[in-house]
Amino acid sequence: MEKKAAWKKYMDTIHPESELANLYRKLRHAFNRVGWSEEDLKKPPYYPQDIMNGYHKMGNLINDLKSELISYFGNIDNKELTDYIMSKLKQIDLEIPLKNGNIKRNNSRDKDY
């Protein structure tokens, strides 16, 4: 049986990612509000200001969380941390599924000139 890393035990006990999870829930609701599907998230048809602000705040929260964990536990494998966070956010994906989406992309600026 594999021993669980100390930082994962900390995360499971203290839940320092709770602010990140709350922000992600708000983003999922915003995605539904604008009618996006999971496919739209890969290449959004447009970028509403509140979603962009949330996206940037998420990046800051992830960096802050990583810094906190490094200060307590030393160097942490970035891929392992990302996988851990993504597994938590996937639960929110199930909690707040996106609609089918009906936003038609305007590909006029996707071409190289």
pLDDT, position 4: 85
Maximal CA-CA distance, the chain = 55
Query: Considering the chain, what is the average pLDDT of its residues?
Result: 88
- pLDDT (mean) for 70-89: 94
In the predicted model, is pLDDT for residue 101 greater than 60? no
Phi and psi at residue 46, to the nearest 5°:
-160, 175
Residue spans of the domains in the chain: they are 6-99
Say if CB 3 and CB 70 are below 8 A apart.
no
> What is the pLDDT confidence band of residue 99, given thresholds at 50, 70 and 90?
confident
pLDDT tens for 53-72 read 999 999 999 999 999 999 99
- pLDDT (mean) for 94-110: 66
In the predicted model, is pLDDT for residue 113 greater than 50? no
Contacts of 40 (CB under 8 A, 6+ apart): 31, 101, 103
> What is the pLDDT confidence band of residue 1, given thresholds at 50, 70 and 90?
low
The helix-helix angle for 18-33 and 49-73 (nearest 10°) equals: 160
What is this structure's pTM? 0.81
Size (the chain), residues: 113
